[in-house]
Structure 1
Amino acid sequence: MKTNKLILSLLTAFLISIIGCGKKEAVKQMSAEERFRLGMSKFQKEDYLEAIEEFKTVVLQYPGSKVADSAQFFIGECRFLREEYILAAYEYDLLINQMPSSGLIALARFRRASCYYELSPNSYLDQAYTKKAIDDYQEFLEYHPKDSLAHLAEQRINELNTKLAKKDYENGLTYMHMEYYKSAIFYFDEVLEKYHDTPYAELSLLKKAEALIYRKRFYEAKEAIENFKKKYPHSKYINEADKLQLSIETRIAEKSK
């Protein structure tokens, strides 16, 4: 009896192994389209790691198939939705560089830029990812100016430029507090030259005039205030500008005596 049970157990294990191998063989023989559909099924269930494996199989085993570029794109999407933005950007890069005739290139460029957009930190931190996002959105606009996502790309570029302007403006304020006025002027000029269409340009021009007063460069300060009032005649800081202008004129008059 014990022998029969042992034989039955071994036979059962053997049959299970055969069935298992048969299933694996069946999966291996799936077409590219079937593999892709399986990957999409897992993707829709948010089983992103399993979906990645299916999509990778399509890309590696069926590189010339009609769904290879879609599989590569969705590898990037899986990484993106897992918030693995560096890995996602890499996967979108592969699509852009290795499958240049794909109809998904525009979307891949936009999503690659969006990876760095998501990585862009607060203004007081290093802004390397912010600059990379801007570069990639600009590349997207250069290649696909009429794409439906072009307007969103422009909005995000403006948003990211405002963040960079804020960082330079705040650097200028820091140097003002430290009484390093030359360094403060440098950062205010950075805002005025690079980010003149952001809200921080207005503030930077006003603060530049103030820093110039502290450096006793009154005529340059006078010019800065005049430019401010010309560019921003309805500014909410106009009263502050008037006070600075009066101070400058008083200093110039005293110097002329």
Structure 2
Amino acid sequence: MIRNVLTYFILLIFLVACSGSIDTSKLTPEEYFKYAMELYNKEDYQQAAIEFQNILMQFPGSTVNDDAQYYLGMTYFNEEQYLLAAYEFSKLIQNYATSPFVPDAQFMLAESYYKLSPPYQLDQSYTKKAIEEFQAFIDIFPSNPKVEEAERKIKELNDKLARKEYQSALIYEKMEYDKAAMKYYDYVVETYHDTKYAPLALYNKIKIEVRKGMINEALADINLFLSRYPNDDNANEIRNLEIELINKHNELTTEKK
């Protein structure tokens, strides 16, 4: 008896659930998209993704296709499936070039790679891809309100790349591989000159040059440091070091004569 009652209630729940479903085969593209958006707004992203995909397959050339394509990308993004999101946003950009969703799709394409950017110790392919896509967004849509955010995130990502190279230089220096360390410090200085790691890298390189008796090289880098970073915390120390090295250079020149 109890089993029959339970079976009845389970069947009843199933029938009620089914009665609330929608026969999407009878919907126009606009009605279907509205239904899919209701699912999206309820955060039923998995089902919404299925419906957006169905719209794209069933109604090729429809006026709501770019809308469906954009929100398909957004469903994956909200589900933290960032590679799939990036793929769908890139499809919108390629297939619906005149869509009003293109600026947002370009930003979200970059944002997807931004979310995939790992800690600085790991491979930074996604970080570089995010920078590339954010820069494309800025170049193509310079008056967009999100440009400032894109610029801020590019700076953040460049700082991460610079930190990775700077830490590599520090490791080589600790291992007393000075040539390799200076090479990495140079790379940071020239490639990431507008990050906080550039003056640190140049400062450390100067210290190595002084330690190795490379006076002319150290003086050249000191001149570069003071011209680029005159207000850096280490600037006064570098100025005093410059005076010391010039005096030492003059003494050596006098001795040779």
Q: Which residue of 1 aligns with 2:103?
A: 106
Structure 1 residue ranges (4+ consecutive) displaced by more than 6 angstroms after TM superposition = none
TM-score, normalisation: structure 2: 0.85
Aligned length: 239
Deviation (angstroms), 1:213: 2.4
The farther-off stretch of 163-172 and 130-139 is 163-172
2:203 alignment counterpart: 206
Shift of 1:123: 1.5
The Cα of 1:60 is off from its aligned counterpart by 0.8
TM-score by length of 1: 0.85
1:135 aligned to 129, 132, 142, which one?
132
- Superposition pairs of residues 16-55 of structure 1, within 5 angstroms: 26-55=23-52
| 1:93 corresponds to | 90
Distance 2:81 2:241 in 1: 50
Shift of 1:177: 0.7
**Preserved CA contact (<8 Å) 1:106 1:140:** yes
Contact map agreement 1:36 1:71 (CA 8 A) in 2: yes
Instruction: Give the one of 226, 229, 232 matched to 2:229.
Output: 232
State the alpha-carbon separation in 2 of the partners of residues 50 and 244 from structure 1.
Answer: 67
Consecutive unaligned residues in structure 1, runs of 5 or more: 1-15
What's 2:141 paired with? 144
150-159 or 82-91, larger mean C-alpha shift? 150-159
Unaligned 5+ segments in structure 2 are: 1-14
Residue identity (%): 39
Q: In the alignment, is the contact (CA less than 8 A) between 1:210 and 1:244 conserved in 2?
A: no
Q: Is the 8 A contact 1:189 1:204 kept in 2?
A: yes
Letter in 1 for 2:51: E
Residue 214 of structure 1: CA displacement? 3.5
RMSD of aligned alpha carbons: 2.3
Looking at structure 2, the residues matched to 229 and 136 of structure 1 have their Cα atoms a distance apart, in angstroms, of: 34
Q: 2:164 pairs with 160, 164, 167, which one?
A: 167
Q: Which residue of 2 aligns with 1:6?
A: none
- Aligned residue identity for 2:142: P
- Cα displacement (A) at 1:215: 3.6
After superposing the two structures, state which structure 1 stretch, 239-248 or 208-217, moved more: 239-248
Q: What is the CA distance between 1:61 and its match in structure 2?
A: 0.7
Deviation at residue 90 of structure 1 after TM alignment: 0.5
1:99-155 deviation line (CA, Å, top 9, x unaligned): 222111111011000011111112121111110001111111222111121121111
Q: CA shift at 1:183, angstroms?
A: 1.0
The alpha-carbon deviation at position 255 of structure 1 amounts to: 5.0
